[in-house]
Structure 1
Amino acid sequence: MKNDATSPIISLGEFKDGVQRYPLTGIKVLIVGAGIGGLLAALECYRKGHSVLVLERAPSLSTVGDVFATHPPGFSTLKYYPALLRDYQAGSHDTQISFYTRQGQFVAASEPEWRDTACEREAGGRIGVTIPRPAHAAMLMGQIERLGIPVLFGRRVVRYTEDRQAGIAAAHTDGGECFDADVIIAADGIHSAAHDLLKKGSYPPYQPTNSYAARAGFPRELLAPGPQLQSILPKPGERDVTRVYCSKDVHLFLDATQTYVSFCYVYKDTPKPSQNTCQLSENTRHKYEHPMALTPAELLAIMTKDPDWDPAILELVSQAPREIMQWSLNFRNPHRQWTSPGGHVVMIGDAAHTFLPTSGNGAVQASEDAVSIAECLRQGGRENIAWSTRVHNTLRYERVSTIQRTGFVNQDILDSVDQVSQHPDAVILKIGSWMWGHLPEKYAADNYRDALAALRSGVPFENTNLPPGYKFREWTMEEEQERQSKGIVSDLRSNGDWTA
């Protein structure tokens, strides 16, 4: 019987909490980071028959944050976890996305492009467009606990090592512990120490974009009632709300349900002296990983530098019951090597590729990574771990790099909302079925052998997880920012068919 991702699972695997496991592979996987990519990688590696241990630097699972956007590739394997799928369907927000000017003038609205498509049904059915970060983390952790996957908190990994001859890698913590495995999935963010394994100068340093994101999320019941504020929140019986307020260099994303409210305010500012681009060492890396806490009054002082904000939005921010966490939006230019020299450490999520919030894709691509690497390891088996991580890298890089660039293109669209208000459809951020219709598990299963053969023979592999007719090219943040400063319209979406 053909043993790929779409074939019936042979009967040797364990069945637990409704999850059918593949036969054991003997591959020992260590996952560093319990974020979106790391937790899903733990589930997928378990399901594919690998042995899994997760390390997380925080003392406990995070309970703060706003929401993130998702679409079918991000939840394409949830159908294999019945309880988790039910959690997603109940906990995600099924919204229509509406666009407004900063002053509160309605511009346009859109439904998800994938709604009621075969792709949505294949991915497990109707799931909301947004989901709160704390709820999402709790859902994944709940499934991990039900399956008995071990997670160790309070383990900050400061160094990775690799023994190519022995075919193992190790993660070393700041507490002096060492954890080894056949393969380490580094899902520990933009400042991951896994970069230190690469040849010095072979990967770009992270650098500030001079943009910031101030995020908050809280129960709606904590807001004082009032007609002004209630005008932007869903009334009893109404569906959930996602509003995007747009202006030059300023965007605010509001997500609201009957029980939960969150917002993310993104703005540009002059860089602070402490934000100089730097290559972090294991001794300094942790100092740059935490956000700044703002009071509502402090954020309002920043926002009102731009006049004429919708009063309802200002009222919402003023009532935020918790500190607002502001992150510097840092970016690392796309780089092709996500694996260590010996192939036994592989980076996923922000450790491999960073996204601007305007891409609406950071969480989805971390999820695609998780699904892809688990399947590639299964396809190759224990004897081909190093090749399997490289195949995963090959299958993912061009797609991810292209989607990263959309963050800058979407910035242009949102920045020009005042000019396009006479043509409202121009502001709707359509992405195309090549993006939302992708099935990362199937793609890895279908293309593993051909990609492996290409790598072994040294010939290019042609990916098909891109817009039809698209010709991939490298790009940098500096090029995009220079284009934006000159007012040049991006040609990205004229390369290939982005409507397909």
Structure 2
Amino acid sequence: MSPNVHHTLVIVVGAGLGGCAAALAMHHAGFEVVVYEKIKKFLRLGDSLGLGENALRLLQRWGLHEQLIRIGNKSENMQIRRWHDGKILAVQPLMDMAGYIGHRGDYHDAFLGRVRDCGIPIHMGHKVVQFNEEKPSIILEDGREIVADVIIGADGIKSLARELVLGFQDAPKSSGYACFRAYFKGEPLKAIPECQSLIQKDCVNIWIGPDMHLVQNTLRDGEEFNWIITHKDTADIKESWFQPGDMDEVRRLIVDLDRTIASAVETTEACLDWKICYRDPIPTWVSRSHNIALLGDSCHAHLPTSAQGASQATESAAVLAVCLKLAGKDNIPLATRTYEKLRFDRVRQSQLNGEDVRDRWHNVLKSVDAGQEINPDDVKIKNRWLYPFDAEADTYARWDEVSKIVREELASGNIRPLFDPKTGPARRLVEYDALGNPKVSKHNIAADPPMPQQVVVS
């Protein structure tokens, strides 16, 4: 461990899942950590969220594992079904989808609890209104300025830190899709004969149809029930978890849906309407002075179908912490710039996985005749390659190789961008085979299955 580790102060802006993961990773690495969050009190917001083995492996080291396992869905498998009649097209282990699926609010409470157990201060109701990247420091709404050695912008999809890094306001773009979402107590469903198979025990089912799909999740043996319908939507962009949904529109969308799930949706009293927005990959995750680094949704937001948003934020936290430890307090630029290069390609492929599965689900039934069988592989989620990966071990294994490139770029003053909208990634950091699958690496101390190789390709 670097002798300067214990004297390094890290400020984390944002106490969401990504911010909490960053705080735990920094604490585990030996840094002093302080978290600032603009919200005064968190509510139990959202609905289903998954944590994959790739994240749980790290969280276990940080003292947060069994709490999460208790929260998650206990079903072993998920069923991918045909929209109109519920015919099972494929069965997959639930771990292949999103790992352990639980309520986002419950997971968030567990993350917050562990941060506090570690003695990490979380200053709630402290809104950051400005960054001074040269010191670096944050300036709060009340005018106070707090200086640190490094600042992590984990302030979500509407990140102020992201604007600083980019140098301009980055407006969201419509993905062309929206989600109607509902999460409620399962007791009223017990009186509906058609949906009894969905409420007897934990289960996950996905109905796929032309240009839409529905994910159903039962938790606590039927005590809680969740459905999410992703559908085409070209309405004005409004990123909000609180926008009420139109249940009449929902019923119109499900008029030809399998009665097993349609019967549950039709009796739902209210839902939310979430416009799925995205932002293009950005050329850097690090500010001009190299002292402020982005993490999670502020730099690599995921579509819901990726089932990896929180897991990838956890990986990013682990990688940044190891980079800061290896570089030492006097070389923050080397740490932050190596971090972004280590992370970009894997995160980008994870994001694209979400687009791929959505597009396959929404189109596979368009090209087949009524009696034609679907190849199960055409509808399966293909996240399995993500899970054996050990972000900390990979960072140690590749540090010398990637940090050497970064040293040269810092010395020349020519920091190559991570991504150019016209040409794509500036440098491939992951090698893939002819089928688009990441190659195997020896750098994995956590599991027997192979993990994707990540090597720098000039």
TM-score normalised per structure 2: 0.83
From 381, 390, 394, give the equivalent of 2:328: 381
Aligned to 1:349: 296
> CA shift at 1:497, angstroms?
5.1
Asked if the contact 1:113–1:430 (Cα under 8 Å) also holds between the matched residues in 2, the reply is: no
Map of 1:15 onto structure 2: none
Letter in 2 for 1:291: W
One-letter amino acid of the structure 2 residue matched with residue 425 of structure 1 = D
Structure 1 residue 214, shift from structure 2 partner: 2.6
Deviation at 1:97?
Answer: 1.5
Aligned partners of 2:240 and 2:96: how far apart in 1?
35
Q: Name the structure 2 match of 1:59.
A: 40
Of 48, 58, 62, the residue aligned with 1:77 is 58
Q: CA deviation at 1:494?
A: 2.8
Q: Which residue of 1 aligns with 2:388?
A: 437
The SS at the match of 1:410 is helix
1:293 matched to 2:253: no
Aligned with residue 197 of structure 1, among 136, 155, 164 = 164
3-state SS of paired residue (2:289): coil
Matches within 5 A, 1:386-425: 386-418=333-365, 419=368, 421-425=373-377
Q: Which runs of 5+ in 2 are unaligned?
A: 411-417, 425-431, 441-449, 451-458
Counterpart selection for 1:44 from 5, 21, 25: 25
Corresponding position of 2:232? 268
Within a 5 Å distance, the mapping from 1:227-242 to structure 2 comes to 227-233=193-199, 235=200, 238=201, 240-242=202-204
Q: 1:364 aligns with which of 311, 318, 331?
A: 311
Q: Does the 8 A contact of 1:210 with 1:268 survive in 2?
A: yes
Sort the Cα spacing of 1:340 and 1:35 in 2 relative to 1 into closer, same or farther, 3 A. Answer: same
Alpha-carbon contact 1:216-1:324 (below 8 Å) kept: yes
The residue that corresponds to 2:123 in the other structure is 152
**Cα distance per residue 1:460-480 (max 9 Å; x no partner):** xxxxxxxxxxxxx96869x9x
Among candidates 257, 263, 266, match of residue 315 of structure 1: 263
Letter in 1 for 2:409: G
Pick from 210, 214, 233: which aligns with 1:252?
214
Note the alpha carbon deviations across 1:59-89, whole angstroms, 9 max, x for none.
212312111222211112233244x322122
Q: Report the CA distance shift for 1:224/1:153 in structure 2 as closer, same or farther (over 3 A).
A: farther
1:108 partnered with 2:90: yes
Residues 303/156 of structure 1: CA separation in 2 closer, same or farther (3 Å cut): farther
Shift of 1:319: 4.0
* Residue segments in structure 1 that go unaligned for 5+ positions in a row: 5-21, 116-126, 276-287, 460-472, 480-490
What residue identity is the alignment partner of 2:300?
H
Mapped contact 1:432–1:498 kept (Cα < 8 A): no
Asked if structure 1 preserves the Cα contact closer than 8 Å seen for 2:78 and 2:204, the reply is: yes
Count of residue correspondences = 418
Q: CA 1:50–1:369 in 2, change beyond 3 Å: closer, same or farther?
A: same
**2:434 pairs with 1:454:** no
Q: Which residue of 1 aligns with 2:414?
A: none
- Identity in percent: 25
2-structure distance, mates of 1:43, 1:244: 34
**Is this contact kept in 2: 1:293–1:325, CA < 8 A?**
yes
Counterpart amino acid of residue 245 in structure 1: W
1:192 Cα deviation after fit = 0.7
Look up the equivalent residue of 1:217 and give its one-letter code: Y
2:428: which partner in 1?
none
Which residue is equivalent to 2:12? 31
Query: 1-side partners of 2:304 and 2:11: how far apart?
Result: 29
> Would the alpha carbon gap of residues 498 and 457 (structure 1) be closer, same or farther in structure 2, given more than 3 Å must change?
closer
- Is the 1:413–1:427 contact (alpha carbons within 8 Å) kept by the matching residues of 2? yes
- Cα distance, 1:39 vs. partner? 0.7
2: distance between equivalents of 1:292 and 1:89? 28
Residues 310-353 of structure 1 deviation map (CA, whole Å, 9 limit, x = unaligned): 233233234446x5332221111112300001111111111011
Letter in 2 for 1:327: W
Change in Cα spacing, 1:339 to 1:89, as seen in structure 2 (3 Å) is same
One-letter identity of the residue aligned with 1:155: H
The one-letter code sitting in structure 2 at the alignment partner of 1:232 is L
Q: How well do the aligned residues superpose, as a CA RMSD in angstroms?
A: 3.1
Following TM superposition, by how much is the alpha carbon of 1:388 offset from its aligned partner in structure 2, in angstroms?
Answer: 0.6
1:98 matched residue in structure 2:
79
Q: Return the TM-score normalized by structure 1.
A: 0.76
* 1:444 Cα deviation from its structure 2 partner: 1.6
Give the alignment partner of residue 89 of structure 1, picking from 69, 83, 101: 69
Deviation at 1:307, TM superposition (A): 3.2
